[in-house]
Structure 1
């Protein structure tokens, strides 16, 4: 079953990559982002298939079941995002011609990949629990981290246009915040999958609490700075969509600049709420851990 699903995943992502790559859309940020995501899904799935064919998974020190489940959940959501964002930000702006048909076909194969990865995740969850899982995958901390990294990943195509932020150092710092928090989230997931948190000089709850607090503070600053410098006229922003020339007419084949700015602001606010929920969870865990410790008289 696993080999069948991964073969379907490879075929569907390969066809989608070919269709997206055949279009003359290298100047469209969301199209480039979709192409990179599909290539990443294809490469990771190919590596996993090779490892399992050579029976090399038993040489890894981490839980292979956790890794497969994490891989299936992440890539299912990645392909789902591509199958939604690619048509919404690029395909709908294309005229009725063969290029539009290829773009629609690429979106369809992305959705097939989504179904294949989601089916693999459900199939893995049905495995008998014989020590292949550590319990981290499926827990609330993992779900929050997965949402945080996914939202940050969606922000990336909208900030891939340097004209949005290169004129202001504060906007550049917002882009740095998105990148740093995304990297920290991936590192945290890898530490948990490899069961390396016990090797840290501080407790796990303290580590996550500090990391969540830092991420919340960074995202608050990014949300405030991005909103001021993009939409407040006093700071050189454009408060009204009608003032953006690219939004007045169909001069481009992708989402206009003002809409990209708004998308980044909304996604920043959504991710901030997720980080706040993460902070509340680890604050509760830290408080419970402190109360359970013996106190001196």
Structure 2
């Protein structure tokens, strides 16, 4: 039986979500009113705003009707993971659109960029509101390591989008880098899916220790990719004279190098939190009073 709970619309996080729906709607409406483009960057921006609008509206409806309590998933983990993902998607969309598609006399494009950055602030606020605080009992994705898992997965997706423009299979070194991105992406993505689906309890081994080992391996693998990718990608490959920033595929090599370093930093932070959880927290819990 459906029961309406209007309290979710008047709570601070509910108000933030309503504003997210409004601003994402305004953003993709302004972009759409300018005209349609087949540019992949333009399509990514529009998809990001539309996706965030639809999922945020769905979350509001499910919580308003209390149907979220009947879903076979960890709702807190789901909304936290989505808020983090939406923040990252809107961040990338805001930067890309403001750099590539705005000009000093493009009023609607400037307006779309402004509302997109305001949307980014709102989603960042939501992450801060719903993530777990010290001493609280909540889902894994509401913690810092859980949010880092979402970041690691998203960064890997950005790398995959950029890698497809290059013949990486020509060089064994680049093949290894793509293998690193793929293996670590699958690992982080499965952790997110298992957490949201409440399947972690079925794992036969101590999860904290397994996560720590996998994080250490991911750090070691990304360390090799941070070194190997620039060596193979930029060796005998200077930047060409491109007519514009958007049309220069060489810039994507720089993006991949930066994203590889960013993911390395994320996995290092994730490993530190995991080690702290396994060894420091575990030692405190087992220490006799």
Corresponding residue number in structure 2 for 1:158 = 162
Gap change, CA 1:227 and 1:153, over 3 Å in 2: same
Partners of 1:126 and 1:281 in 2: CA distance = 15
Is the partner of 1:163 in helix, strand or coil? coil
Question: What is the CA distance between 1:265 and its match in structure 2?
Answer: 0.7
Corresponding residue number in structure 2 for 1:262 = 254
Any unmatched runs of 5+ in structure 1?
Answer: none
Number of residue equivalences: 273
Q: Does 1:210 align with 2:202?
A: no
Gap change, CA 1:219 and 1:64, over 3 Å in 2: same
Q: 1:80 aligns with which of 80, 87, 91?
A: 91
Q: What are the Cα deviations for residues 143-176 of structure 1, in whole angstroms up to 9, with x where unaligned?
A: 432332343344355335x236365464355345
1:67-216 matches, cutoff 5 A: 67-88=78-99, 90-91=100-101, 100-124=106-130, 134=138, 136-160=140-164, 162-163=165-166, 165=168, 167-168=170-171, 170-216=173-219
**TM-score, normalised relative to structure 1:** 0.74
Gap change, CA 1:252 and 1:191, over 3 Å in 2: same
Question: What is the CA distance between 1:267 and its match in structure 2?
Answer: 1.8
Gap change, CA 1:224 and 1:10, over 3 Å in 2: same
Corresponding residue number in structure 2 for 1:48 = 59
Corresponding residue number in structure 1 for 2:223 = 220
**TM-score, normalised relative to structure 2:** 0.75
Any unmatched runs of 5+ in structure 2?
Answer: 1-9
Gap change, CA 1:268 and 1:123, over 3 Å in 2: closer
Asked if structure 2 preserves the Cα contact closer than 8 Å seen for 1:148 and 1:185, the reply is yes
Partners of 1:108 and 1:293 in 2: CA distance = 52
Q: CA RMSD in A?
A: 3.6
